[in-house]
A and B are shown apart, each in its own frame.
Chain A
Amino acid sequence: MMITRRMAMAGLGAGAAAVAARPARAAGPIRLGLLHTLSPAPFYLAQTRGYFSGVEFVFFEAAQPIAAAAVSGDIDVGVTALTGGFFSLAGRGTLKVIGGALHEQKGFDLTAVLVSPQAYAAGLTAMDKLPGHSFAITQYGSSFHYMIGRIADRAGFDLKSITLRPLQQIGNMLAAVKTGQVDATMAIASQARPLVASGEAKIIGWVGDWVPYQITALFTTAAMIEKRSDDLRAFCAAYQHGVADYRAALLTKGADSDAAVADIRKFIFASNPDGPRLIREGVGWYDEGAALDVADVKAQLAWFTEQNMVKGAINAADIIDTRFLPTR
């Protein structure tokens, strides 16, 4: 009896310890959590060109766990999509958005709205014709859910008039549209264009033309800001250097991008012979100086709260800290 009680106590104690967030480390490298995709390319440039000092990359396969890893103390800084899950975690007081990253920009084709050829032939040729159709997303509360929600607002229809299909993975979304199991979905340019070229899907519009959108952002923990703000400032300056190189090489028309592409390729598409083309076609917009679109982050938080995906009233000012990087 005594042993079982003691064991139960030990188990509960271990559980409580695991639940309590670990404090930020006082020294040592800054651990940056990021997706192993093309989207954090300026970070790759800052790392290969030596702007960062003592920054350790921790790669993730999905956006959501990056925020959870910061809460659990496994990373110090992260760059991830601002999802419903991110806002829920940030609202509990541990995460702070400090700078911008990938942004949807008018006239800069990044995310396409794709429809199946069958649906297109049946009349789904424009955004305002989406009501009554099925639409594949990864998960509820994801960037895709947000984007279609905002497009619905802009195009003047009710999001509930669309049947959302959560398919967990981007590969599933593309497959579902190709086979006509759903009528529409979204995909980034480098994935959408080949499907259009092979006649497997049609593009009816680009998200950037409909909603300006801070897709991903740089965030850190409250403990980092409190204990290592000097390290964080140095990190942000190096990141801005990377963004400046990225904009000069890849977002400026007619610029020589070979050196930047080669440096980015050390992290992504390294063994893919088609790598340089994939990088040039897949680059996304970063604002000058890694500025954060504060107004849009507030709009996102308001939308997720209004959709009841983020519980309780979270004050945007509590989850944004603009002392480290400029604002848009």
Chain B
Amino acid sequence: MRAADGPALDRAVPFRAGGYAPQRVAWASAATLIGLLAFWQFCASMGWVSTSFASSPLLIIRALAALISSGELWGHLAASLQRLAIGWVIGTISGLLVGLALGLYTLARSPGMAVVSALFPIPKIALVPLFIIWFGIGEGSKIVTLAFGVFFPTVINTMAGVDGVPRGLIRMAQSFGLRPWSIITKIVLPGAMPAVLSGFRITTSTAIILLVAAEMIGADKGIGAFVLQAGNLYDTDNLLAGIVVLSVIGLCVSWVLGVLERALLRWR
């Protein structure tokens, strides 16, 4: 303390080192969502917001119940989940391979990055008409749209993950005489895994977002097609019910990824 030229301390200093460390409060997240829904329903019930233009939680639940009881929902879900799974797996596997190559080899890095940087910002929705010419109006163009959207973020995340692996570990393995394949499978891949897995969270969401674009053309089944159809008919209840289903798919995928993260990253 600079007692000589500063004011003298004549009282105890209170403890001020609290806060700035957000804690997780699970009930608060649930309560916020439920509170917002209740507020929306309240506004609708009071007639403040016209339900003919904005629907209400109860009307959406009723629309969902009707979709489930008529069995229509399962047909749409099956079609969409199949497209999501195939498109995401193709985009992810090819993205992982390319990302790994870009992360490891000088020969691949600059040319590959040039192509990825040039193609990544293209809005995939704008390419849908081209995909129709190339892959037809069947499943092909839909799966390619999803795979294309998933591919680029996967490449970039994988490459960043590989870059983030401590080079000291790789050098040590080299000096112990490990073969390149062992270095990749035992050091590079596990080291890049956290970045790759957090990339999965982005790419699964991207795939769900692109589902609506992919199902714009020629789809008679699918959640995206259903949402579009409801929009065309200004059927706000079903439109929002479809969006709730998309959101639930997102939540489920996110939960699965959380489980996967805990299992794969136990070594940390």
Contacts and interface: CB of A to CB of B under 8 A. Distances in A.
B232 A85 contact: yes
B129 A172 contact: yes
Given A166-B218, A181-B137, A140 B229 contact: yes
Given A16-B48, A19-B49, A166-B220, A176 B137 contact: yes
Interface in B215-235: 216-220, 225, 228-229, 232-235
Interface residues of B, number: 26
Interface in A64-115: 64, 68, 71, 83-85, 88-89, 92-93
B132 interface: yes
A168 interface: yes
Interface in B25-60: 39, 43, 48-50, 52-54
Contacts of A93: 52
Contacts of A68: 234
A84 B217 contact: no
A310 B233 contact: yes
A142 interface: yes
Given A85-B234, A182-B137, A311-B235, A141 B229 contact: yes
B133 interface: yes
Given A16-B43, A16-B48, A16-B49, A309 B217 contact: no
A165 B137 contact: yes
A92 B53 contact: yes
Contacts of A165: 137, 218, 220
Contact of A172 (B43, B52, B132): B132
A125 interface: no
B180 interface: no
Contacts, number: 73
A175 B228 CA distance: 22
A163 interface: yes
B63 to A, nearest CB: 10
Interface in A133-177: 139-142, 163-168, 172, 175-176
B166 interface: no
A166 to B, nearest CB: 7
A177 to B, nearest CB: 11
In this complex, which of A89, A166, A172 has the most chain B Cβ atoms within 10 angstroms of its Cβ?
A: A166
A88 B52 CA distance: 10
B258 interface: no
A122 interface: no
Interface in A28-52: none
Contact of B50 (A20, A84, A168): A20
Interface string B131-169: 011001100000000000000000000000000000000
Contacts of A71: 53
A83 B233 CA distance: 8
A64 B216 CA distance: 16
A166 B230 CA distance: 13
A273 to B, nearest CB: 27
In this complex, which of B137, B225, B234 has the most chain A Cβ atoms within 10 angstroms of its Cβ?
A: B234
Nearest to B236: A88
Contact of A139 (B39, B48, B54, B229): B229
Contact of A88 (B50, B132, B228, B235): B235
B218 A167 contact: yes
Contacts of A142: 232
B207 to A, nearest CB: 21
B53 A168 contact: no
Contacts of B132: 172, 175-176
A165 B217 CA distance: 8
A68 B233 CA distance: 11
Given A84-B232, A88-B235, A19 B219 contact: no
Nearest to B138: A181
Contacts of A167: 137, 217-218
Given A85-B232, A88-B233, A311-B235, A19 B218 contact: no
A16 B47 CA distance: 11
Nearest to A310: B233
A262 to B, nearest CB: 35
Nearest to B225: A166
B94 to A, nearest CB: 26
A64 B232 contact: yes
Contacts of A309: 233, 235
B219 to A, nearest CB: 7
Contacts of A311: 235, 237
Contacts of B49: 16, 19
B233 A141 contact: yes
Contacts of B48: 16
Given A140-B233, A166-B218, 15 more contacts: A16-B43, A21-B53, A68-B234, A84-B232, A85-B234, A88-B233, A89-B234, A141-B232, A141-B233, A164-B220, A166-B228, A166-B229, A176-B132, A176-B218, A311-B235
30 contacts: A12-B39, A16-B43, A19-B50, A19-B53, A20-B53, A21-B53, A68-B234, A84-B232, A84-B233, A85-B234, A88-B234, A88-B235, A92-B52, A93-B52, A140-B229, A141-B229, A142-B232, A163-B220, A164-B220, A165-B218, A165-B220, A166-B219, A166-B225, A166-B228, A166-B229, A167-B137, A167-B218, A172-B132, A181-B136, A309-B233
Interface of B: 39, 43, 48-50, 52-54, 129, 132-133, 136-137, 216-220, 225, 228-229, 232-235, 237
